[in-house]
A and B are shown apart, each in its own frame.
Chain A
Amino acid sequence: MSELFVVGLSWRTAKVDVREKLAFREDELADVLRALTSSLPVAEALLISTCNRVEVYGVGKPGEDPTTVVRAFLCEQKKVKPRDVAEALYDRRGPAAIRHVFSVASSLDSLVVGEAQILGQLKAAYSVAGTAGTNGPVLSRALERAFGVAKRVRTETPIARGSANVSSVAVELAARVFGNLDGKNVLVIGAGKMSTLAARHLYSEGAHKIVVTNRSPEKAAALAAEIEGVAKPFDDLEALLTEADVVISSTGAREPILTRPLFKKVTKARRWKPMIVIDIAVPRDADPAINDLEGVYLYDIDALDKVVQANLAERAKAAEQAGKIVEHEAVQFEQWLRTQGVVPTIRALREHFAHVADAEVGKALDQLGKKDLTRDQQRELLQRTVQLVVNKLLHAPTTALRGAQPDEATVRAAIVCELFGLEPSEETTDPVAEPAGSEQAAERKAQA
């Protein structure tokens, strides 16, 4: 039975300038997979190419180890010198490959542990392999199981809890203060990229209205149009702050524009309703002293990073728990995979037994139809038929046992005993008394 293998590189082994050399476009994937399975000893294959990893998951043809040729294939496809990526490329086989696939799907191997994107990317890659016709029973089963493991990890561990980037932290903080963002007003001061991202995130989470203000009205209008917000004059800052529940500030001002005197007036006008101020600007837009005011929760870039780091630390703890789930599932998958190796033998054995039995039963039925047999004759015919089936089935193994060399014969005898649950006695004479050619003799007797 061929085993699963993984060949590729990821953020762990390669910097972005190396990763991008081997990255594949989405529209290339199907053709690459077809080329992989048609020209190499690869029976099944899947290719995942994201900003953080390029990996081939596959199953080699029986008796082949395709990892070396797959490495060469990847380099050849992207016209990269093998020595340039030799250190970055890794390969895994068998149990290690299974664990790797499960870990990737569960986001344990991601740059940001617990991020949800990788699962979607893996599902997309699986779908492409399906379209290209390079999926097979082992790979399909491995991927389906990997998706199941990922689901288990996300539901049974806190690996995906807590925000892992600044814009998500704004949403998380809003949840701490307001519960949800339904009907809340967001004020974006300045037109920085991060504030835009954070504002978009808040909007997608249900923020009612986003107002953008900037010293340059044109920039404010452009950003407002981009995030479906409303542009308002910077001169109305105090009034805008009074209306806002979440403030995101990222201007290029050299001095704080969100001062304590201003916020004293604002908080009083708001009747001390809570508000979150997220200051992403460097130098900072908000005077740190406004955090002391009733109802104001100020988070500057360092504080936001502290939230991210705290969440990542929590995720790292959860990753240990998730690792145990992956290990458990990988062991179960290996067991399943092992059973797949004997399935053809089991199938052939059953077919052989059924064939012998069917042939002899058919002959017996023919005789019953032709002759008017007494009850005793019928019983004798039945006994002979069963004996014939048994003899035919035992003929080959018995011959193999008798014909084996002494050492080999002992091993074979032990296997037979184990398979049939036998406890042979110590008799030295042959208790079976099956003469050579007994199968034929029994057949002749039956025909007579």
Chain B
Amino acid sequence: MTEPVRVLSVAPSPAFWVATVAYAAASVLLFIVLAGHKKLRPAALVLVGIACAAHATDIGWRGVEHVHPAESVREALGFLSFILTGGYLVATTRYRLTLGGVVVMPVALVLLLLARLTPAGAEPESLSSLGRIHIVLATIGVGIFALASALSAIYLAEDRALKNKKFDGAVFKDGGAPIEALDRISHRLIWVGFPIFTVALVLGAIWVSRLGQSIGRIEYALAAVTWVAFATLLVARQIYGWRGRRAARLTLSGFTGALVVLVIYLIRRIAGG
């Protein structure tokens, strides 16, 4: 017997198109700034601000249309993209993170496009409050991990430039945040994101068991691996003082796991699985 379904999609709002154009333009402009045209930096940040505001408007508009960020993995991806941009914008008030922008803006754009332009597929009617809380918490947790990962990526680039004395490279010229601060802030973000992600994982397990699905799926296993990676990082840092490159690489590995989980979810939803 076919399960009753509802299609969770509304047409992209005008704000979405504004956000898309602003994200793309900001990505290009930040790249030009990194290449040496530093005078364009304020213009690039204005574009990031426009993208962020348009993105927020789009999320609000979808909310009015009863499509909330917790409605599906697809919507959660859009929300994740928004968290990334917002976090980047906040960080730029303190540090010159052009390199971070070159990494974050295209990722945010891709996530937004995946969230809005991929086929909506069908979502089972049985999306309970538990499921919604799970999606919201998981999205926030992964969003925070994404910010920590962006900082870790910048850390690795700056560490490499400092160790190899690449003084004429774009990373060194950019003069971004000091690497000690990058390491510290990334660690703090993981401390904040980890409990949220843990609760999301537990609620997800309960939700899945209530739905009667098997917990042997690859995405569940990968989510568990992600959790283990971040747990290891926190414990190793606390007990053995792990930091620097090792911590940055582990953060990036953990986030990659979380991202793969999201992509698998998305593909399953598109396929109607």
Residues of A with Cβ closer than 8 Å to B?
Answer: 158, 173, 175-179, 271-274, 291-292, 294-295, 297, 299, 303, 306-307, 310-311, 313-314
CA distance A295 to B179 in the complex (A): 10
Q: Are A176 and B168 in contact (CB under 8 A)?
A: no
Q: Please name all residues of chain B whose beta carbon is closer than 8 Å to the beta carbon of A307 when the two chains form the complex.
A: 165, 167
Is residue B163 within 8 Å, beta carbon to beta carbon, of the partner chain? yes
CA distance A297 to B246 in the complex (A): 16
Q: How far is the CB of B101 from chain A (nearest CB, A)?
A: 19
Q: Are B162 and A177 in contact (CB under 8 A)?
A: yes
Among B40-48, B237-245, B252-260, the stretch that binds chain A is: B237-245
Of chain B, the residue at the smallest CB distance from A173 is B162
Q: Please name all residues of chain A whose beta carbon is closer than 8 Å to the beta carbon of B246 when the two chains form the complex.
A: 272, 294
Is residue B125 within 8 Å, beta carbon to beta carbon, of the partner chain? no
Across chains A and B, the number of contacting residue pairs, with CB separation under 8 Å, is: 55
Interface string of B104-115 (1 = CB under 8 A from A): 000000000000
What are 17 A-to-B residue pairs whose CB atoms are below 8 Å? Answer: A176-B162, A176-B175, A179-B177, A271-B240, A272-B243, A273-B241, A274-B183, A294-B245, A295-B244, A297-B163, A306-B165, A306-B167, A307-B167, A310-B167, A310-B168, A311-B167, A313-B168
CA distance A314 to B177 in the complex (A): 20
Q: Please name all residues of chain B whose beta carbon is closer than 8 Å to the beta carbon of A173 when the two chains form the complex.
A: 162
Of chain B, the residue at the smallest CB distance from A296 is B163
Q: Please name all residues of chain A whose beta carbon is closer than 8 Å to the beta carbon of B167 when the two chains form the complex.
A: 306-307, 310-311
Q: Please name all residues of chain A whose beta carbon is closer than 8 Å to the beta carbon of B183 when the two chains form the complex.
A: 274
Chain A to chain B: the 4 pairs with minimum beta-carbon distance, closest first? A271-B241, A310-B167, A179-B178, A294-B244
Q: Please name all residues of chain A whose beta carbon is closer than 8 Å to the beta carbon of B175 when the two chains form the complex.
A: 176
Q: Which of B173, B242, B244 contacts A274 (CB 8 A)?
A: B244
Is residue B271 within 8 Å, beta carbon to beta carbon, of the partner chain? no
Identify whether the interface residues of A are mostly helix, strand, loop, or mixed.
Answer: helix
Of chain A, the residue at the smallest CB distance from B242 is A272
Of chain B, the residue at the smallest CB distance from A172 is B175
CA distance A272 to B243 in the complex (A): 7
Identify whether the interface residues of B are mostly helix, strand, loop, or mixed.
Answer: helix
Interface residue tally for chain B (C-beta within 8 Å): 23
Q: Please name all residues of chain A whose beta carbon is closer than 8 Å to the beta carbon of B221 when the two chains form the complex.
A: none
Q: Are A295 and B243 in contact (CB under 8 A)?
A: yes
Q: Are A176 and B179 in contact (CB under 8 A)?
A: yes
Choose among B165, B241, B242 the residue with the greatest number of A CB atoms under 10 Å from its CB: B165
Q: How far is the CB of B26 from chain A (nearest CB, A)?
A: 23
Q: Are B178 and A177 in contact (CB under 8 A)?
A: yes
Is residue B3 within 8 Å, beta carbon to beta carbon, of the partner chain? no
Interface string of B14-45 (1 = CB under 8 A from A): 00000000000000000000000010000000
Q: Are B165 and A176 in contact (CB under 8 A)?
A: no
Q: Are A179 and B181 in contact (CB under 8 A)?
A: yes
Q: Are A299 and B165 in contact (CB under 8 A)?
A: yes
Of chain B, the residue at the smallest CB distance from A297 is B162
Of chain A, the residue at the smallest CB distance from B243 is A272
Given contacts A272-B243, A274-B244, A307-B167, 20 further A-B contacts (CB under 8 A): A173-B162, A176-B178, A177-B162, A177-B178, A178-B178, A179-B178, A271-B241, A273-B243, A274-B180, A274-B183, A291-B163, A295-B243, A295-B244, A299-B165, A303-B165, A306-B165, A306-B167, A307-B165, A310-B167, A313-B168
Q: How far is the CB of A344 from chain B (nearest CB, A)?
A: 44
Q: How far is the CB of B167 from chain A (nearest CB, A)?
A: 4
Q: Please name all residues of chain B whose beta carbon is closer than 8 Å to the beta carbon of A291 when the two chains form the complex.
A: 163
Is residue B71 within 8 Å, beta carbon to beta carbon, of the partner chain? no
Of chain A, the residue at the smallest CB distance from B167 is A310
CA distance A306 to B169 in the complex (A): 13
A177-B244 in contact given A297-B162, A299-B165, A310-B167 (Cβ < 8 Å): no
A179-B242 in contact given A291-B163, A303-B165 (Cβ < 8 Å): no
Q: Please name all residues of chain A whose beta carbon is closer than 8 Å to the beta carbon of B178 when the two chains form the complex.
A: 175-179
Choose among A176, A178, A292, A307 the residue with the greatest number of B CB atoms under 10 Å from its CB: A176
Of chain A, the residue at the smallest CB distance from B168 is A310
Of chain A, the residue at the smallest CB distance from B178 is A179
Of chain A, the residue at the smallest CB distance from B245 is A294
Is residue B158 within 8 Å, beta carbon to beta carbon, of the partner chain? yes
Of chain B, the residue at the smallest CB distance from A299 is B165
Q: Please name all residues of chain B whose beta carbon is closer than 8 Å to the beta carbon of A294 when the two chains form the complex.
A: 243-246
Q: Please name all residues of chain B whose beta carbon is closer than 8 Å to the beta carbon of A271 when the two chains form the complex.
A: 240-241, 243
Q: Are B180 and A177 in contact (CB under 8 A)?
A: yes
Q: Please name all residues of chain B whose beta carbon is closer than 8 Å to the beta carbon of A310 when the two chains form the complex.
A: 167-168
Q: How far is the CB of A172 from chain B (nearest CB, A)?
A: 10
